[in-house]
A and B are shown apart, each in its own frame.
Chain A
Amino acid sequence: MTDSLFSKGVTEALNFSAVERLCITEPDWLRERREHAWALYEQTPMPTTKLEEWRYTDLRKQLQLDTLSLSQATVVSDDPTAWPKRLRKAMKEDRQASGHIVVIDGHVVHSDLEAELIAKGVILSSLHDAIEQHPSLVENWLATEAVPPEEGKFAALNAALWSDGIFLYVPADVQLNTPIRVTRWLSEAGVAQFGRVLILAENASRISYVDEILSDDFSKQTFASNAVEIIAKERAQVQYVSVQRLGRGAFYQSVQRTLAYRDASLDTLNVALGASVSRVDLNACLLGERANSDMLGLYFGDDDQHFDFNTSQDHISPDTASDLLYKGALDAASRAVFRGIIRVKPTAQRTDAYQTNRNLLLSGNARADSLPNLEIEADDVKCSHGATVGELDPEAKFYLMSRGLSRIQAERLVVLGFLGEVLSKLPLGGVVEKVTRVIEEKLSQH
């Protein structure tokens, strides 16, 4: 592919006629939106390492756009016995839930929700079903306020080519006691897959949402794109958890934005364990007074895995608070990039904003780059950030070994303790155990 073609990102599979094919059965407003997004995608140059936000992830080397085809997968039946074994295993590990969605190769093949919640007006469905049944809700919020195509090259590509997604709506004052669990499986190698999530929590509602994406290893590069939009209206409480366990060969790319209105609390946890390259852009917008966001992240790299987190905390209104903690351990020749920024606007007096990134390097070939940034334009604020990169604490290791543990056991315990801090802050049933188990598996290869 020539440079200019790469820069445009138009390939044999990713092009305008692919967009047109998706539009055939869709309403006009959606067609217009997709066409607009595609035009933006073509106009926006492919990010290069000359851009500050892409300084450490070289797409030219890491993304082979021209080798990707679009998914040809047909819909699998709603019968679990027809689903991949690992998908079923992942679901079995989950504890109680208010509802489930299963997505296989971009198609929503199953969804269920407690009858009581359906009666209260909670909606959990595929995006396509939601467009048919609740058109105005989706039209108002899909790729408009949270992740519009103007957001960037990948947001535009996703908005033009998304094949299906998940829609979750919680009416005012409805509170879910157990999480909504979404499990996605990818089986096709060499494809580009585009999914979306739209969560709308009305005033004083409460939900937790856990989204797990997984696959086996791929024989050739596979591109999984995700756009996540979460809106928490006044006094709503939302918890969003994403667990990424894709196989090697996957390029995972996710753009997420959370909008927190007055007195809302909107917490996120991004767990990155799989894929060859993983890029997450997360923006938390504290729109209303006293809105609050806790932002947690956890990653464990081995082989030559490459993780890139680009986070921002935007404080727009007074008395808002955000607290970010991203921790990762890096083994073998893996690499992590954390770039975070706290922006406090002049209107956001009495903001409390914190940002911490800690990295543990377990191997001489691992690498960590950390860029915790602050831009403060209000004076009555409490802001701080910290970043560390270090080795395993030799004293903690020595202490454990003096208690009879082997060196390897001691190292594992120290790493689990280091990462466990993140999980303990959002202790959703099933998530902690599952993530801990996957990290233990990874550590056993250390």
Chain B
Amino acid sequence: MPQNETIRDLQLDEYKYNFVTDAEPVYRARKGLSEEVVREISAYKEEPEWMLDSRLKALQVYESKPMPTWGGDLSELDAVLDEIYFYVRPQDRMEHSWEDVPEEIKDTFEKLGIPEAERKVLAGVGAQYESEMVYHSLREEWEKQGVIFDSIEDGLKNHPDLFREYFGTIIPTQDNKFAAMNAAVWSGGSFVYIPPGVHLDTPLQAYFRVNQERMGQFERTLIICDEGASAHYIEGCTAPVYSTESFHSGVIEIVVKKNARFRYTTIQNWSNNMYNLVTQRAVVHEGANMEWLDGNLGSKLTMKYPSCYLVGEGAHGEILSIAYSGDGQHQDTGGKVVHVAPHTTSSIISKSISKGHGRSTYRGLCKVHKGAHHARSNVECDALLINDTSRTDTYPYIEIEEDDANVGHEASVSRIGEEQLFYLTSRGISEEEAMAMIVRGFIEPIAKELPLEYAVELNRLIELEMEGSVG
């Protein structure tokens, strides 16, 4: 397909994703969270005993932990949680070929551009429609190499030992209230294993979509990138706009073994009534490299701080974060790097744009434990304010217990300069287009790291969002 056609197919506009299809869920648990719901989910998934026990224990942890009082405003969340369904399953079995996928769901994917992605032979496509993987394909040669790219449920069924060895070890249930909630009711997500020395040159992609009003989505992803392997995983999600609050709480666990390289890219564009509270963490071993590329454009409130625990000598962690907050939105995002081993290095680059009454918050941690000598870390945060009603905050935590370490943090806040605007408009560019150009330039260092389709989406989105910002 010619490139410009691809771009057109993937163009985002405000209405394209604001659709609802009539897929009738086969099974739906009752509203709210209880031991009964947890037991039902586990029974429905025909899980082994240990998983049910783990879920029930997690539920107790969830109930014992208080609602966080930091970050975004969660005061209305309890009421929201009483009203949501903690599990929705659209159909009974997994589909492995496109023809078997029901028409209505296909229709949704059509609008999301998945068939195009398929035609382009994008790696394996796992699309999450409501709570579960319904469509999965994996390039044949990878299967031969032993790569596993399954739904998380199939991961548990087909690779029980590998699954049990790592599940919940990177992000333990006790880590935080929402990680505990996820551990109790998780459903859907990916299970990925890259065997030693295997290099995937096309990314693994999973599309996410929430389509049921007041439905919570609790995806759980576990990725093991074995020694010397390398891969890139891309997750993007959109959701239709509803008037009632919605809730999403994912847990992403990643192990990057010795000398392996892994990149996890996620762009979320949830509708503006979504609470998006996600825990993402990678443990990075000796000589390994982990990169998080995190884009937060949608949701009502996002609290998400991808983290790298650098536990092996020479490990490297990188977090690139971009946030956009418009009216009624609060992006409370950032990153954490924890240096545990010597000669570890890390970098966090964060860019945020706040428009209208939007609020962008950078919250980050850089910790160097005793013994992590020769650790190096650099954090840069830049915030752009579009209107005089916009707000930005920066809350970095720097904790250093080792003298032989170098850590730096820098942040700046600015607005679109009058001179910049004047220069561009004097060249015959409209003020709106000039604003969009300046914003695009501001995010360029991160946008250029994105796969082409995503960079295009992002630029298109910025253009849409800049419309009407002049005045």
- Judge if A204 is at the interface, Cβ distance under 8 Å: no
Interface centre among A346, A359, A361, A362 (most CB of B within 10 A): A361
Residue A59 interfacial (CB < 8 Å): no
* Contact with B403, one of A363, A370, A383, A388 (Cβ below 8 angstroms): A363
Q: Which residues of A have CB within 8 Å of B404?
A: 364, 391
Q: Which residues of B contact A373 (CB under 8 A)?
A: 393-396
Contacts of B386 on A, CB cut-off 8 Å? 379
Query: In the docked arrangement, what's the CA distance between A385 and B396, Å?
Result: 10
Chain A neighbourhood of B388, CB < 8 A: 346, 349, 378-380
Given contacts A380-B415, A384-B410, contact A368 B400 (CB under 8 A): yes
Q: Is the C-beta of A382 less than 8 angstroms from some C-beta in chain B?
A: yes
A383-B413 in contact given A388-B407, A390-B405 (Cβ < 8 Å):
yes
Please give the number of chain A residues whose Cβ is less than 8 angstroms from any Cβ of chain B in the complex. 35
Q: Check if B406 sits within 8 Å of A391, measured CB to CB.
A: yes
- Decide if A367 touches B401 in the complex (CB within 8 Å): yes
Shortest distance from the beta carbon of B16 to any chain A beta carbon, whole Å: 31
Q: Are B413 and A391 in contact (CB under 8 A)?
A: no
Would you call A370 and B409 a contact (CB within 8 A)?
yes
Give the distance to chain A from B363, nearest Cβ to Cβ, in Å. 10
Q: Which residues of B contact A365 (CB under 8 A)?
A: 370
Report how far A365 CA is from B371 CA in the complex, Å: 10
B390 at the interface (CB under 8 A from A): yes
A372 CB contact (under 8 Å) in B373, B396, B406? B396
Docked pose: A386 CA to B70 CA in angstroms: 23
Instruction: Name the contact of B400 in the complex, choosing from A369, A384, A385 (C-beta under 8 A).
Output: A369
**Complex-state Cα separation, A440 to B409, whole angstroms:** 29
Q: Mark A333-376, 1 if CB is under 8 A from B, else 0.
A: 00000000000001001000000000101111111111111111
User: Is the C-beta of B397 less than 8 angstroms from some C-beta in chain A?
Assistant: yes
Q: Which residues of A contact B391 (CB under 8 A)?
A: 375-377
Which residue from B393, B401, B402, B411 sits with its C-beta under 8 Å from A384?
Answer: B411
Residues 105-160 (chain B) with a chain A CB within 8 angstroms: none
Q: Quick check: A386 and B408 within 8 Å, CB to CB?
A: yes
Q: Does A123 contact B (CB under 8 A)?
A: no
- A384 engages B385 (CB within 8 Å): no
Contact of B383 with A361 in the complex, beta carbons under 8 Å = no
Bound Cα distance from A362 to B390, whole angstroms: 42
List residues of chain A with CB within 8 A of the CB of B70: 52
B76-123 CB contacts (< 8 Å) to partner A = none
Q: How far is the CA of A141 from the CA of B399 in the complex (A)?
A: 39
Fill in one digit per residue for A315-349: 1 if any B CB lies within 8 Å of its CB, else 0.
00000000000000000000000000000001001
Within 8 A of B (CB), among A283-341: none
Q: Report the Cα distance A388→B380, complex, angstroms.
A: 12
Q: How far is the CA of A383 from the CA of B407 in the complex (A)?
A: 21
The count of chain B contact residues (Cβ–Cβ below 8 Å) is 36
A285 → B minimal CB distance (Å): 19
Q: In the complex, which residue of chain B has the Cβ closest to the Cβ of A366?
A: B403
Residues of B within 8 A of A359 (CB): 400
The secondary structure that dominates the A interface is strand
Q: Are B396 and A371 in contact (CB under 8 A)?
A: yes
Closest to A384 in B: B412
Contact of A383 among B389, B405, B412 (CB under 8 A): B412
B393 and A374 form a contact (CB under 8 A): yes
Is there a chain A Cβ closer than 8 Å to B11's Cβ?
Answer: no
Q: Is B243 an interface residue (CB 8 A)?
A: no
The distance from the CB of A299 to the nearest CB of chain B, in whole angstroms, is 15
The answer to whether the Cβ of A46 comes within 8 Å of any Cβ in the partner chain is no
Tell me, in angstroms, the Cα distance from A379 to B401 when the chains sit together.
Answer: 37
Q: Which residues of B contact A423 (CB under 8 A)?
A: none
Does A381 make an interface contact (CB < 8 A)?
yes
Shortest distance from the beta carbon of A445 to any chain B beta carbon, whole Å: 17
Minimum Cβ distance to chain B for residue A362 (Å): 6
Closest A residue by C-beta to B394 = A374
Contact with B along A216-237 (1 / 0, CB 8 A): 0000000000000000000000
| Contact between A386 and B411, CB atoms less than 8 A apart | yes
Contact A381/B405 with A369-B400, A372-B396 known, Cβ cut-off 8 Å: no
Q: Which residues of A contact B390 (CB under 8 A)?
A: 379
**Shortest distance from the beta carbon of A266 to any chain B beta carbon, whole Å:** 23
Inter-chain contacts of A346 with B (CB < 8 A): 388-389
Take A384-B413, A386-B410 as given contacts and tell me if A375 and B403 are in contact as well, using a CB distance cutoff of 8 Å.
Answer: no
A389 an interface residue at 8 Å Cβ cutoff?
A: yes
Does residue A387 face the partner (Cβ distance < 8 Å to B)?
yes
The interface residues of chain B lying within 8 Å CB-to-CB of A383 are 412-413
Contact A387 B409 (CB under 8 A): yes
Inside 8 A of B373's CB, which chain A residues have their CB? Answer: 364
Across the interface, B406 reaches (CB within 8 A) one of A363, A386, A390, namely A390
Do A376 and B405 contact each other (CB < 8 Å), given the known contacts A371-B397, A385-B394, A387-B396?
no
Q: How far is the CA of A364 from the CA of B402 in the complex (A)?
A: 5
Known: A346-B388, A379-B388. A372 touches B400 (CB 8 A): no
A387 touches B408 (CB 8 A): yes
A391 contacts B405, C-beta separation under 8 Å = yes
**Residues of the A chain whose Cβ atoms lie less than 8 Å from the Cβ of B402:** 361, 364
Task: For residue B304, give the distance in angstroms from its CB to the closest CB of chain A.
Answer: 19
How far is the CB of B375 from the nearest CB of chain A, in Å? 10
- Cβ of B74 within 8 Å of any chain A Cβ, yes or no, is no
**B325 touches A (CB below 8 Å):** no
- The answer on a CB contact under 8 Å between A389 and B413 is no
Give the CA-CA distance A365 to B369 in the complex, in Å. 11
Which parts of B357-379 form the interface with A (CB within 8 Å)? 368, 370, 373
**Contact partners of B368 in chain A: CB under 8 A:** 389
In Å, the complex CA distance between A283 and B408 comes to: 25
Cα A390 to Cα B402 in complex, Å, equals 9
Is residue B268 contacting chain A, with contact meaning CB distance below 8 A?
no
- CB distance A389 to B398 under 8 Å? yes
Encode contact with B along A94-118: 1 for CB under 8 Å, 0 otherwise. Answer: 0000000000000000000000000
A-B contact pairs, 28 of them (CB 8 A): A346-B388, A363-B403, A364-B403, A368-B400, A369-B397, A371-B396, A372-B409, A374-B411, A376-B385, A376-B391, A376-B413, A377-B391, A379-B386, A379-B388, A380-B415, A384-B411, A384-B413, A385-B409, A385-B411, A386-B408, A386-B409, A386-B410, A387-B407, A388-B407, A388-B409, A389-B405, A389-B406, A389-B407
Which A residues form the contact surface with B (CB < 8 A)? 52, 346, 349, 359, 361-391
CB-CB nearest 8 A-B residue pairs:
A361-B403, A379-B385, A374-B394, A370-B398, A384-B412, A389-B400, A383-B413, A390-B406
Q: Mark B residues whose CB is within 8 Å of A.
A: 70, 368, 370, 373, 383, 385-415
Given A368-B400, A389-B405, A389-B407, 13 more contacts at CB 8 Å?
Answer: A346-B388, A361-B405, A364-B402, A369-B399, A371-B396, A371-B397, A374-B383, A374-B411, A376-B385, A376-B391, A379-B415, A386-B408, A388-B408
